[in-house]
Structure 1
Amino acid sequence: MKHGLTIVLALSMSLGFLQPGHGQPLQVEPPEPVISVPMGGSCQLNCSLSCTDGMVALVKWHGLDITQGAVQSSPGISVLSVHEATLSATGTRRCVGSCGARSFQHSVQILVYAFPDQLAVSPTALVPGQSQEVSCTAHNVTPVGPDTLFFTLLLGGQELEGVQALGREEEEEDLQEAEGPLFQVTERWWVPALAISTLPALLCRATMRLPGLEQSHCRAFPAPGPEVVQPPTAPWVGSLVLGLLLLAMLTYCLWKHWRTQAEEHTHLPAPLRLLPLPE
């Protein structure tokens, strides 16, 4: 037991949480060990140290791609700024401080993620009352682990039950301007037949969950319109309608011919009358 406690104390001292001598542990803001930053976004990490007995605390950030302009240090404090974060900014940063001969350090991981609202759903039209395969694709995302990015089908605002997961596909996007790999992730399901005439809103919800972050995007499947049901028509009905139309046309032609003949016999030209000549 005593040996185990010695190991714990030694590990704590090496990480900077406990240090003998003058000074307090490093104070880092924000204090989380992992900081999630959206691609193109920014963050700022402050690291400070106080020394006793009038000693001057020296503090500075170290790590990946830290340029001179990204770190501003002065006695007792160092500020790390990340602007317009790219995927290459993902990595561990260490704040190192000292009070005389005693040193301290604290590590923070910066995680740059990409999760734009670029969901696509398939099919373009659902068929009510018919089992069918549906899919949802998130474009230009990273990271894409199943515990980081996951999909859900929602029907009427509730998670749809009874669906069968058909699998997940991950494919790297072909983007030459990107400074790191972005992916498109597709989730597929087999949805059983829904015994209703029209479907309510069926949604795909994609959620990214990272340390200190949970963000979701939704996209609706196109809703089908109401079906117009035509009454069944017997085969002889069409023939009957066509026969009646032909009979009506024949009757009209005979009537028009008879009327023309009658007008020719009843309306004879009037006799000519001689007008008197003027005197």
Structure 2
Amino acid sequence: ERRLPAGGHLEVEPPDSVVAVSLGGSQQLTCRLVCPDHRTRSVQWRGLDTSLGAVRSDAGSSVLSVRNASLSAAGTRVCVGSCGAVTFQQTVQLLVFAFPDQLTVSPVALVAKQDREVACTAHNITPASPEALSLSLLLGDQELEGVQALGRDVEEEPQQGEDQLLRVTERWVLPPLETPTPLTLRCRATMKLPGLKLSYQRAIP
């Protein structure tokens, strides 16, 4: 919310400077203009670098609707308002993410004392940066200690439509586990974005 000496200000809903929307999902951004007295007013969403989406504006508010979001919907949106001669603006960064519940594990079943290396893959993901997407091993409800990370691979999925998605694989060497272990070994994938945290698990039997 930005106040000006003239007393006018913009209110954006949701109020976050970064808004995450899922691929194929919908998001509405509402920008309201509060103007003192009866000065001429206007308010309008604008896109800097992107297809804007559907915009509906009247004198006091502008509503931007993004439906069936594709990756190209990501980018900066600017709400520009004016009260008489005074102009002000507020920007919102729209992020589009994909994080379906599509984890695969290898080996499909652990053979005691033979299989020491396990891999976990999250499919059809974006963004795939380590800051956004993390993969970890759990034993029961706790992160497994003593594992040796063998690295992370990011590959492109076969493209379907215009959106290029990724698959992320992480590999580990297991520490010696009690056999039979009373707890289940699981792979967990977590997506963290501003205002958002999602996670899925898949057991490695």
**Alignment TM class, shorter chain as reference:** over 0.9
Q: CA deviation at 1:180?
A: 2.5
- Measure how far apart 1:110 and its partner are: 0.6
Cα deviation 1:168-223 (Å, max 9, x = unaligned): 0000111132x2221000000000221323563110000000000000011111x2
2:135 to 151, 160, 172: 151
The residue number in structure 2 matching 1:10 is none
- How many residues are aligned here? 203
Deviations 1:96-115 (A, max 9, x none): 00011110100001101000
* Structure 2 residue runs without a partner (length 5+): none
Counterpart selection for 2:2 from 13, 17, 42: 17
Contact 1:129 1:197 in 2 (8 A): no
Q: Which has the higher helix share?
A: 1
In structure 2, the residue matched to 1:192 is 175
- Give 3-state SS (helix, strand or coil) of 1:60's partner: strand
Q: Larger relative CO (CA 8 A, sep 6+): 1 or 2?
A: 2
* Contact 2:189 2:201 (C-alpha < 8 Å) held by counterparts: yes
Q: Deviations over 1:224-253 (max 9, x none)?
A: xxxxxxxxxxxxxxxxxxxxxxxxxxxxxx
**Alignment equivalent of 1:136, drawn from 113, 120, 125:** 120
- Conserved? CA contact 2:8–2:83, under 8 Å: no
- Structure 1 or 2: more strand by fraction: 2
1:180 paired residue number: 163
- Flag the structure with larger Rg: 1
Q: State how far apart, in whole Å, the 2-side matches of 1:137 and 1:166 are.
A: 14
TM-fit CA distance, 1:145: 0.6
- Structure 2 residue 147 is matched with structure 1 residue 166: no
Q: Give the equivalent residue in structure 2 for 1:209.
A: 192
- Deviations 1:10-53 (CA, angstroms, capped at 9, x unpaired): xxxxxx834333x4221111100000000111111110112223
TM-score (norm 1): 0.70
Does structure 2 conserve the Cα–Cα contact (< 8 Å) formed by 1:152 and 1:204? yes
- Quote the offset at 1:128 in angstroms: 1.9
- Give the TM-score normalised by the residue count of structure 2: 0.94
The RMSD of aligned alpha carbons is 1.5
Unaligned runs of at least 5 residues, structure 1:
1-15, 224-279
Find the counterpart in structure 2 of residue 6 from structure 1. none
Matched, 1:118 2:102: yes
2 CA distance for matches of 1:198 and 1:208?
29
Instruction: Write the distance in 2 (CA, Å) between the matches of 1:89 and 1:35.
Output: 12
Q: 1:133·1:190 contact (CA, 8 Å) conserved in 2?
A: yes
Q: Residue 92 of structure 2 corresponds to which residue in structure 1?
A: 108
Residue equivalent to 2:52:
66
Give yes or no for the alignment of 1:86 onto 2:106: no
Q: Distance in 2 between matches of 1:186 and 1:33?
A: 31
2:72 match: secondary structure = helix
SS across alignment from 1:49: strand
Pairs within 5 Å for 1:210-225: 210-221=193-204, 223=205
The secondary structure found in structure 2 opposite 1:88 is: helix
SS at match of 1:66: coil
2: CA distance, partners of 1:157 / 1:17: 44
